Structures are given as C-alpha cells and as structure tokens.
Amino acid sequence: MDRIVLDSPLDMHVHFRTGNMLKFVVPYTACNFAGAMVMPNTDPIIDNHYALCRYREEIKAACKDAFFEPYMTLYFQTSYTRQMLEECRQDVLAIKLYPRGITTNSGHGVLISDPEVETVLGYMTELGIPLSVHGETDGYVMRREREFMRTYERWAVKYPKLKIIMEHISTAEAVNVLGTYPNVFATVTPHHLLMTTDDLCGDMLRPHLFCKPLLKSPEDRAALQALVLGELSDELQRKVMLGTDSAPHAKNKKECDCGCAGVFNAPYALPSIVPLFVEKDKLPELQRFVSDNAKAIYGIDTLPKMVELHRESQRANAFLGHLVGPKDDSYVCVVPMYADQILRWRVRKTWVDPVRTKVVLPKSPLAK
Amino acid sequence: MDRIVLDSPLDMHVHFRTGNMLKFVVPYTACNFAGAMVMPNTDPIIDNHYALCRYREEIKAACKDAFFEPYMTLYFQTSYTRQMLEECRQDVLAIKLYPRGITTNSGHGVLISDPEVETVLGYMTELGIPLSVHGETDGYVMRREREFMRTYERWAVKYPKLKIIMEHISTAEAVNVLGTYPNVFATVTPHHLLMTTDDLCGDMLRPHLFCKPLLKSPEDRAALQALVLGELSDELQRKVMLGTDSAPHAKNKKECDCGCAGVFNAPYALPSIVPLFVEKDKLPELQRFVSDNAKAIYGIDTLPKMVELHRESQRANAFLGHLVGPKDDSYVCVVPMYADQILRWRVRKTWVDPVRTKVVLPKSPLAK
C-alpha cells in the first residue's frame, strides 16, 4: 500500500502557545488536521470565556484561510462557578486539569486533595463537560503516571457520567485503567507510541525528546501500540485518540542548562505514525485513532477534510524557523521530532470532499 | 562539627581526557586528592605500555608542582598477551573493561560473549591485576546495570582470585552482588550517591547531570547511601570506594541536540558528599570511603596529603573556563556539578603531614 487517505484527522491535544510562536506553529497543525483541541496552559492561562474566545480568534487568524477548527479548553480552576461554566459551555470542548507544578505553566494548577476540585467536577458532570487531565503526581519521575492512577479510578467511580480523558498516556498501567472504567478515555502521542526512554537518553541526550510524562519502557510502549492497533480489544481501541501533545519551545530553551519539556511533532505527526498501522494492515484502526474515536467521544463533527499520504521518503527538517535571529520574542527556531531523519511517508495533499464543499485548501508550508 | 581533615583522599575513577581539556581539569582533582585512578578511554585509547607512560607524564605535567599521584589503567583489549601485561604490570593499577558501544569512546570495547575476554581475565588473575568494569548491557537504559549483574556473578565465581571492581554502581542490585562475592568491589560517584533521575529530568532537563549509568530511583540511591555509611555491614562498607567518574565535556557539547554523557564533579566532589556523613556522625566511614578502602583493596600507599574542609557556605561556579572563546580545541568551558548552587562545605586547605615530609602544596585554583 503506497497511498492512504485519512478522513478529517484530529489532534486532540496540542499546544499553540501565543504571539509569534503561535503564528509560527499553528499552520503546521492546520495544514495536516481538520481540527485540534488546544491546551489552555498559555501565559497567562485561559481561565475565562472572554480569554478563550480571544485565544480562538488568535489561532484562527494564524491559520489564515486554512480549513481548520480549533476546539477550545479552559484551564481547570477551583474558583469556577456553575453559572460561569454554563455561560461558556457552548465554546468549551473540555476543561483541562493540571496538578500544580508538574509541567509547563502549571503553577496555576490544583492540589488534587483540595475538596473544591470535586465541587467543580460536579458542575462539569451536570453540564456534560469532559475532563481532560495531565495525570502525574509529584513523585519519582518514572512512577508519576502510575501513581496518578488512583486518582483517575476514584473520579471514574465517583462521577460515572463524567467523561475523563487521560491525556498523553505513557504506561501499561494507564492502558489497564482505560479498560476498567467505561467513562475513562485516553490520548496517545506519536512519541510515546514510537519511542522509549532509550531515545531520550540511552545513547546521547536528546533534549528535543524531553517531555512530560517522560518517555517510558519498551513494555509500556508495547502496551500503547497494542491498544491503538486494536490488539487488546475493539472496544478499548475505540476509547483512544491521537493527541500529539505537540509543544514547541524555542531551540535555545531546549538546548541549555535547564531545558523545557515538550516535543514539537506537529509537522511530522501523521507521517510518523502511519508505518506502525500500515505494517500490520490496520488502516481502519488508524482512521479511528486519528479521527473517528474523537468524534464519537466528544460528539463533534468536522467538515470532510481529506489528508492524503504517500509512501515516499522525506528528510525531516533539522529545524524550522530562523537558526540565528534577533534575541527578542520574534525569534522562533524550533526543532521538530525526527529532525534531520528520514521518514518513509509524507503528506502529499489535502482537500475538502468536493461532494460536500468547494473550499480549496492552501498549500502545506512543508509541501515542496 | 565544623572542620574535617581527610587523610589522603583518593578518587578511584576519573576522566582527564587529553590536550587542553586535560590541562584544564587535572588541577581540580590534583588539588583535592592525593591520587586518582585515571580512565583509559581517551582518543586514542590507552592500550599499551608506552601510551600509558606518556599519558601519565602528560597528567603529571598538568599537575605542575601539586603533590598528586595518577594511578594508571589500560583499556581492556582481547589482543593483550600475558607477556605484554607482565611487562607493564608495575605501571598498571587496573585494566578497565568497556562493553562495546555503551559509553564515551567505548567503540574499542569488547563483546562480553567473546571467549577471548576470558583468556585475558586468566592472565590478569595470574598477574594479580584488578579488573575495573563499566557494567552495563545495551538493553533498556533503566535496566542496563541490573542486566549486567549476571556477568559480574559469572566472572566472580569463575575467577575467585581476580579482584573485580564494579565501577560507578547505581542500583540496589549492585549492592546485593557486592555483598555476595568476596572478590567483588565497587566505586560510587557523588552524583549517584546524592541524586536521582528526578534531578536529571524530573523538573527541567539538566544535561550536565546526564551520565552513564543514568541516575536511578530514590530506592537505589538509598541502597548506595546505606552501603557507604556502613548501615548494611562494616564488612560491606570496606568494599566500596569513592570514584567520582568526573567526566568533563565542553559546555557546548553537553547543551546541544546530542548531548554527551558525563558529570564534571571534580571541583566539588568532596564538599558535596561531606554533609551525608557528618549529619549521621559517620566520619570514620567517610575516611574509609574516600581513602582507606581503596588503599586496602588496591594495596597502594600514598604520601600523607591532608585535605581540610570547613562548614562554610560557598556558591559553586556556574561554569569554569571561558564562556565564549575560539571555536578550536583550545576552547574549554565546563559546567560543574552543583553549578551556581550553594554548598555547605568547602575545601579550606591541603597540606602534607609535616612529620613525614616538607613538601608545600600549591593553592587550589578554587580557593579564594
């Protein structure tokens, strides 16, 4: 098989940042996906309706004329009232919860033990707003996700009508929890699906693969692969969505004495995961993973944006942006996942199904 | 207790490199230690008597007039003959074995399964040359040392008269093996003794703490601390030596897309470990760990170089050398362990016991 057409791929977990970085990175997602769920851990955080709408406008402006829908999220705050959530319900796809201090811009996150957390979970259950979670404790880095499973389990049992999305799962334990509770769902990133701790620090140290949760063991990766490929069960496969967790940081903030966490994979997310599915002849599972499952879980619809990939080698860019530039905030240079390596597939074209619309998509910034 | 005098501290595992880097780093070890066992994984490697003697001269020249003894090692090669080893026996403290490809300049290392390895181990046993080992497999990075234990155990049983030194141990499993075989010994680094994976990548990524073996879990660190403090047994405590594994790389080779492995801790190795022993009132154990055990295990004697530390706060240098310089090999800028952090102890002075000698030591390059 040398050609695949994906129907309306969705990235259910992406970081766009703000300002110049946002303008720079949004097109890489917009040209490859029909839509994306945008994380609210910007600086300042997205914690009210007005900020959310303004942030959506900023993203749409950066798309230019691309056919792309940003799905917005609020940053979980214990101060949210039922009325406030009700008023912005129509514009919010999910509320993202960060335990305090465990990742980029999580200083405004919650203490999991705070009883006020459950008050807001109650409102969300009543209003049908899904809960999206960065599920890690502040324990030993290799055990943080495993230790958070207790919290997922407690919430899953206490709020059976609340949809809980375990974001960017990285461990076999999370796959087990996914299989146990009907109201628990998950996203998986390309890097957790394809890489292990060895890629980060087995040979040389690769700061551009440093992320949270940390890349895990070969056994954990095998559990994630079995999950997305439907080898565990068809039912379980329908609970998992692609969420790239594409998280750009300027090159100089990754390659320094105190490197930031985050993998910028938006440019090559789809080409990177295709071989895993193609080699095992699992195209229906690929389509479900990159789109159908998210539509069913979140109850969203998209316009029929088709993304066509060809089996055709490409060398991923070593960096994107300007390697040397003014040291103000207009300087953008990011190193993508698989920088300077050969990928076997590439996005060849995207279009909107002509039967249903005549919108013409702009060319991908990566297309030759 | 506000003042400690260590008698002839020895660093039983150090990397000096060659050329300008050697000239730059040797004084940091020479001013704090009476001697150090120097690793042979230079470029080119130290694999013959002539290279070894020339390398020792290069190190001694870099010491200038410091009172310091470099103990030399050969890079384990399966091509070594009994005659060759016999001829250089007097100048060799140990032979260092690197499994191929698992750390800096280990491309000339051996395949553990190669039967020729055992031929050379036989010669070493006959000649009484200790075997120093970087004990890691090429498996999953968090399990490499654990997986290598089988090899240590096989050799320990097959060559009961061969002294085997497990270098820079990082796991509770290695502590167990140490306790099982009378002919197995170990070195422990300050960073494995004091830090965990969380220091490397729990919060931000800290490339200057990237080393091999990788920093491990809190439980592994606790096992190492119990070992050196003598909490497991007095017998076991006598089998463990300080080996800093101080391994300098230029700042720009650590903070980049493919960072090198190695922690440069020579400047602050002694001040960093003192609090662990002082807080538990374990000064005899400290003296044994930093000197007496190595003397007994290797059967070496040193001149009585005294190193006096005071309880006195100091801020570790953020870097040493030139932050910006010519991009040829004369450029040296290294970031030490604990860069820009406060240490509670400092080396105040060193002297040679006047009863036995009148040599006057030069001032430490770090002393104010």
DSSP E strands: which ranges in A232-323?
240-242, 305-315, 320-321
B183, B161 contact by CB (below 8 A): yes
Residue whose pair of structure tokens reads 């170089």 in the numeric block? B305
Show which of residues 91-150 on chain B sit within 8 Å of chain A, judged by CB atoms. Answer: 140-142
Question: Does the beta carbon of B253 lie under 8 angstroms from any beta carbon of chain A?
Answer: no
Question: Does the beta carbon of B217 lie under 8 angstroms from any beta carbon of chain A?
Answer: yes
| Residue B149, min C-alpha distance to chain A (Å) | 19
All residues of chain B having their beta carbon less than 8 Å from the beta carbon of residue A210 are 201, 205
User: Taking CB atoms and an 8 Å limit, are A259 and B205 in contact across chains?
Assistant: yes
Separation CA B233–CA B225 (nearest Å)? 12
Structure tokens at B46: 């130290």
User: Taking CB atoms and an 8 Å limit, are A255 and B255 in contact across chains?
Assistant: yes
Taking 70 as the threshold, does the pLDDT of residue B360 lie above it?
Answer: no
Looking at the DSSP bridge assignments, the partners of residue B336 are B264
In this complex, the residue of B197, B207, B335 whose CB is nearest that of residue A142 is B197
All residues of chain A having their beta carbon less than 8 Å from the beta carbon of residue B136 are none
Question: Does the beta carbon of B320 lie under 8 angstroms from any beta carbon of chain A?
Answer: no
Q: What is the pLDDT of residue A367?
A: 47
Separation CA B302–CA A52 (nearest Å)? 70
Question: Does the beta carbon of A51 lie under 8 angstroms from any beta carbon of chain B?
Answer: no
User: Any residues with CB less than 8 A from the CB of A253 and at least 6 apart, and which?
Assistant: A259, A260
Cβ–Cβ pairs < 8 A, chains A and B: 77
| Residue B90, min C-alpha distance to chain A (Å) | 36
Taking 80 as the threshold, does the pLDDT of residue B329 lie above it?
Answer: no
Q: Which of the residues A2, A11, A198, A245 is marked catalytic?
A: A245
The 3-state DSSP class for residue A94 equals: strand
AA identity, residue A50: Y
Separation CA B142–CA B145 (nearest Å)? 8
The backbone torsions φ and ψ at residue A98, rounded to the nearest 5 degrees and listed phi first, read -115, 120
Do the strands A10-14 and A35-38 form a parallel or antiparallel pair, or are they unpaired? parallel
AA identity, residue B247: A
Q: What is the pLDDT of residue B104?
A: 77
- The answer to whether the peptide bond before residue B44 is cis (omega within 30 degrees of 0) is yes
All residues of chain A having their beta carbon less than 8 Å from the beta carbon of residue B207 are 205, 207, 257, 259
Rounded to the nearest 10 degrees, the angle between the axes of helix B144-158 and helix B115-127 is: 60
- Whether A301 sits among the annotated catalytic residues: the reply is no
Q: What is the pLDDT of residue B303?
A: 83
Residues in chain B: 368
Element (H, E) at A54: helix A49-63
User: Taking CB atoms and an 8 Å limit, are B255 and A260 in contact across chains?
Assistant: no
Residue whose pair of structure tokens reads 């009148």 in the numeric block? B358
Q: Output the average pLDDT for chain B.
A: 94
User: Taking CB atoms and an 8 Å limit, are A207 and B207 in contact across chains?
Assistant: yes
Taking 70 as the threshold, does the pLDDT of residue B177 lie above it?
Answer: yes
Region B263-278 average pLDDT: 98
User: Taking CB atoms and an 8 Å limit, are A201 and B201 in contact across chains?
Assistant: yes
Question: Does the beta carbon of A256 lie under 8 angstroms from any beta carbon of chain B?
Answer: yes
In this complex, the residue of B210, B254, B257 whose CB is nearest that of residue A208 is B257
Residue whose pair of structure tokens reads 């009325």 in the numeric block? A83
Active site residues of B: 245
Element (H, E) at A37: strand A35-38
B199 burial type by CB count under 10 A (0-12 exposed, 13-18 middle, 19+ buried): middle
The per-residue pLDDT for range B16-71, each reduced to its tens digit, is 999 999 999 999 999 999 999 999 999 999 999 999 999 999 999 999 767 999 99
Q: What is the pLDDT of residue B137?
A: 96
| Residue A120, min C-alpha distance to chain B (Å) | 28
Region B330-338 average pLDDT: 90
Separation CA A284–CA A230 (nearest Å)? 10
| Residue B41, min C-alpha distance to chain A (Å) | 17
pLDDT in tens, chain A (368 residues): 899 999 999 999 999 999 999 999 999 999 999 999 999 999 999 999 999 999 999 999 999 767 999 999 999 999 999 999 999 999 999 999 999 988 877 889 999 999 999 999 999 999 999 999 999 999 999 999 999 999 999 999 999 999 999 999 999 999 999 999 999 999 999 999 999 999 999 999 999 999 999 999 999 999 999 999 999 999 999 999 999 999 999 999 999 999 999 999 999 999 999 999 999 999 999 999 999 999 999 999 988 999 999 999 999 999 999 887 766 667 789 999 999 999 999 999 999 987 776 544 445 555 44
Q: What is the pLDDT of residue B229?
A: 98
All residues of chain A having their beta carbon less than 8 Å from the beta carbon of residue B335 are 257
B197, B217 contact by CB (below 8 A): yes
Residue B226's CB is within 10 A of a number of other CB atoms, namely: 16
Residue A94's CB is within 10 A of a number of other CB atoms, namely: 26
B288, B237 contact by CB (below 8 A): yes
Q: What is the pLDDT of residue B363?
A: 52
Separation CA B274–CA B6 (nearest Å)? 10
All residues of chain B having their beta carbon less than 8 Å from the beta carbon of residue A218 are 140
Structure tokens at B250: 């230029």
User: Taking CB atoms and an 8 Å limit, are A196 and B140 in contact across chains?
Assistant: yes
| Residue A171, min C-alpha distance to chain B (Å) | 15
Q: Quick one: DSSP state of residue A246?
A: B
The per-residue pLDDT for range B129-146, each reduced to its tens digit, is 999 999 999 999 999 999
Separation CA B38–CA B165 (nearest Å)? 14
* DSSP characters over B20-55: HHHHHHHHHHHTT-SEEEEP---SS---SHHHHHHH
Region B236-243 average pLDDT: 98
Do the strands B240-242 and B305-315 form a parallel or antiparallel pair, or are they unpaired? unpaired
Rounded to the nearest 10 degrees, the angle between the axes of helix B218-228 and helix B172-180 is: 40
In this predicted complex, what is the ipTM?
Answer: 0.94
Quick one: CA dihedral B247, B253, B256, B258, positive or negative? Answer: negative
Structure tokens at A202: 């087995």
Q: Considering the entire predicted model, what is its pTM?
A: 0.94
All residues of chain B having their beta carbon less than 8 Å from the beta carbon of residue A255 are 255-257
What is the percentage of chain B residues whose pLDDT exceeds 70? 95
- The answer to whether the peptide bond before residue B213 is cis (omega within 30 degrees of 0) is yes
Do the strands B320-321 and B305-315 form a parallel or antiparallel pair, or are they unpaired? unpaired
Residue in chain B closest to A102 (alpha carbons) equals: B203
Residue A315's CB is within 10 A of a number of other CB atoms, namely: 11
